[in-house]
Structure 1
Amino acid sequence: MRKVLIPTDFSDNAMNALVYAMQLFKYQISEFYIVHAYQDEIYEDESLLTRDNLPVVTKKVSNKSKERLQELIANMSAHATNPKHTFHGVSSNDLLVDLIDGIVEAQNIDIIVMATRGKTNNKKITFGSYTLQILRYVQCPVLVIPQHYKYQQPEHILFPTNYMIPYKRRELKLLCEMASPFRAAIDVLYISKSSKLSLRQEDNKRFIKEELYKNEVHFKVVKSRNIKHAIYEYIKGNNIDMLVMVNTRHSFLENILNESIIDTLSLNLNMPFLALQNTKRD
């Protein structure tokens, strides 16, 4: 059973992410948790909000959220690509990151699928602020779908790594089972000035190979010190249609996130981006 959480603000971008998730997991028995946190909407127009009318505004926003979720779920259920897909709606007067974090823990969610941007659609940034917060603070793999990206089944996945971290079996299994129904090739890319690996790196590389046993895996080496540039050039030259990175200590993605927010990533992402969080969950 695959458990997928999809946050929504009912925008076209959020709908696009939901459709992508349904297609990506069309061969798997899956539960989809469609989540709407509406606390920000209550306080959206401070000029009209008073202490006296706060309960009325809250009730109105709550009812609207629940109604739109019910409509969305009815529509998705009617168009499900797999009769073994089930849908749950969660509407809550909460902050999105807190709500998602709680559901991930309570329901043992496997993956979050979300759009890069919601209603604000700020084109100056690669990822919206909510997406960035979830990437940073929620311990669950996050698959980010770019604006206007039309679903195509993954065929060539890029997984850059420095082999320095002990990968989690659960998360590599997720990648394996996402890619295998589509017979997608996975390029595991090591970026370094030296191609020589330490014993720890060799062990971690072997573990990746063992866990991705259902997949066609190619181990590649690029000699470079500029990680972002090397990834960008590899994507351009190899028809990559999904990027996978691990967010943990000493990882490529942690360096990028800590540099000056992931929006400085010069990849101009136009493909799905999967951040594995290397969580401690079983």
Structure 2
Amino acid sequence: MRKVIIPSDFSENAFNALKYACQVFKYEKSEFYLVHAYADEVYQDYSGTDRDAFEKRKLEIEKAAATRLQKVEEQMHSYAPNPRHKVYRQTEFGTLTDVINDLVISMNADAVVMGTQGQTNDRKITFGSNTVQVFKYVHCPVIAVPANYSYTQPKQILFPTDYMIPYKRRELKLLCNMIASFRSTVHVLYIDSVSKLSMRQEDNREFLRCGLGNPNLFFENSNLKDKTQAILKAIEEHEIQMLVMVNSRNSHLEDMLYPSTVDILALKLEIPFMVLQNLSR
């Protein structure tokens, strides 16, 4: 049973991510957990010092969120009724990243699917701050879906890597299942001016080859110094429908998880972005 956490702030972008999850896990028995974290909303909404008034406002926001989350579930069933999918709703007083990560750990979740932006939908900030925090700290794969993205099966997948990190079998399993479901072609892109691999890199590449176990697996090189440009070029050349990267210390993605670089990538990234984690859990 696939366990998928889908955070919602009731924006169009959040619902678009939910629709993507319904489609990408269409053929899998899945439990969808619709989650709304509302601590920031309470603190922003109430600036007084009266504790009783604060608790009253907190309860009001929680009740309103629960009602809206129920409507999201109803919209989901209307959009994509599926007997394979069970849906659960949860509202939590906490920050989004903490709430998601606690759920990931407690229920041993397989994936988080969320929008790239929140209610502001501000094109200038591209990957919203919440999305970046989830990328960095949540201990399971995260799929971020751009605003207004129309679902397309991920037949062509790009996986940039430097082969410097040992991959985790569980993280690759989600990708493997997706590859098998859609008979996807995977382009593994090594970005470095030096094409010769070390022993460590060769071993990690071989682990990746065996772990993905896909006949449509291609290993490619790019000597472009700008990693973002190398990725965007490969996306265009291969008509990529999903970008996959691994979050780990000293990885390409960690290098890119800073506002300016993430924005450069996201401004031109119009496809779902899956972030695998190399974190213990």
**Which residue of structure 2 aligns with residue 107 of structure 1?**
107
Distance 1:231 1:127, change over 3 A: same
Which amino acid letter does the alignment assign opposite residue 15 of structure 1? F
- Greater helix share, structure number: 2
Contact 1:27/1:82, CA 8 A, preserved across alignment: no
Return the offset for 1:49: 8.1
Return the offset for 1:16: 0.4
Q: How do residues 68-107 of structure 1 correspond to structure 2 at under 5 angstroms?
A: 68-107=68-107
Return the offset for 1:221: 1.2
Which amino acid letter does the alignment assign opposite residue 100 of structure 1? I
Return the offset for 1:40: 1.8
**Which residue of structure 2 aligns with residue 250 of structure 1?**
250
Deviates more, 1:64-73 or 1:4-13: 64-73
Which amino acid letter does the alignment assign opposite residue 71 of structure 1? K
| TM-score normalised per structure 1 | 0.93
Q: How do residues 61-72 of structure 1 correspond to structure 2 at under 5 angstroms?
A: 61-72=61-72
Distance 1:266 1:109, change over 3 A: closer
**Which residue of structure 2 aligns with residue 147 of structure 1?**
147
Distance 1:109 1:233, change over 3 A: same
| TM-score normalised per structure 2 | 0.94
Deviates more, 1:91-100 or 1:263-272: 263-272
**Which residue of structure 2 aligns with residue 174 of structure 1?**
174
Which amino acid letter does the alignment assign opposite residue 240 of structure 1? I
CA distance in structure 2 between the partners assigned to 1:268 and 1:233 by the alignment: 11
Distance 1:81 1:199, change over 3 A: farther
Q: Percent identity?
A: 49
Return the offset for 1:215: 5.3
Aligned residues between the structures: 281
CA distance in structure 1 between the partners assigned to 2:257 and 2:81 by the alignment: 35
Any idea what SS the aligned residue of 2:44 has? coil
**Can you give the 5+ residue segments of structure 1 that lack an aligned partner in the other structure?**
none
Return the offset for 1:71: 2.4
CA distance in structure 2 between the partners assigned to 1:229 and 1:81 by the alignment: 40
CA distance in structure 1 between the partners assigned to 2:7 and 2:22 by the alignment: 14
Q: Deviations over 1:241-265 (max 9, x none)?
A: 1111111022111111147462243
Does residue 203 of structure 1 match 2:203? yes
Distance 1:120 1:266, change over 3 A: closer
CA distance in structure 2 between the partners assigned to 1:197 and 1:52 by the alignment: 63
Which amino acid letter does the alignment assign opposite residue 183 of structure 1? R
Deviates more, 1:128-137 or 1:256-265: 256-265
CA distance in structure 1 between the partners assigned to 2:39 and 2:80 by the alignment: 30
Q: Deviations over 1:113-165 (max 9, x none)?
A: 10011112122112011111111121211110001101111110000111111
Any idea what SS the aligned residue of 2:236 has? helix
Contact 2:97/2:134, CA 8 A, preserved across alignment: yes
**Which residue of structure 1 aligns with residue 218 of structure 2?**
218
Any idea what SS the aligned residue of 2:86 has? strand
Distance 1:248 1:137, change over 3 A: same
Return the offset for 1:233: 1.2
Any idea what SS the aligned residue of 1:109 has? coil
